[in-house]
């Protein structure tokens, strides 16, 4: 999942990203913000990984996108 995210990030940025930078970028710009959105929506308690995977999977299955927004989250929940 992180490598696939990094591939899309490299395509959108037009530059190569090494695996370490990719992991840090994914954590800071994808995982943590999404977990915060899910918590704000009251969908989880202290758990993080499993809710992220569920919401990310539902988002792609329903909307065929890897983008995040408040509107998208409302459609998924």
Cβ atoms of 38 and 51 within 8 Å: the answer is yes
Please tell me the pTM assigned to this model. 0.69
Q: Please give the tally of structural domains in the chain.
A: 1
Domain residues for the domain of 29 are: 2-76
pLDDT in tens, 12-71: 999 999 999 999 999 999 899 888 888 888 877 666 667 788 777 777 777 766 666 777
Least confident window among 2-6, 9-13, 40-44, 69-73 = 69-73
Quick one: pLDDT at residue 46? 65
Give pLDDT, residue 66.
61
């Amino acid at each position: 999942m992180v490598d696939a995210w990094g591939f899309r990030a490299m395509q959108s940025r037009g530059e190569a990203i090494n695996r370490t930078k990719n992991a840090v970028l994914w954590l800071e710009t994808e995982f943590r913000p999404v977990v915060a959105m899910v918590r704000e929506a009251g969908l989880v308690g202290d758990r993080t990984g499993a809710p992220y995977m569920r919401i990310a999977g539902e988002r792609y299955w329903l909307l065929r996108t890897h983008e995040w927004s408040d509107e998208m989250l409302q459609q998924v929940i």
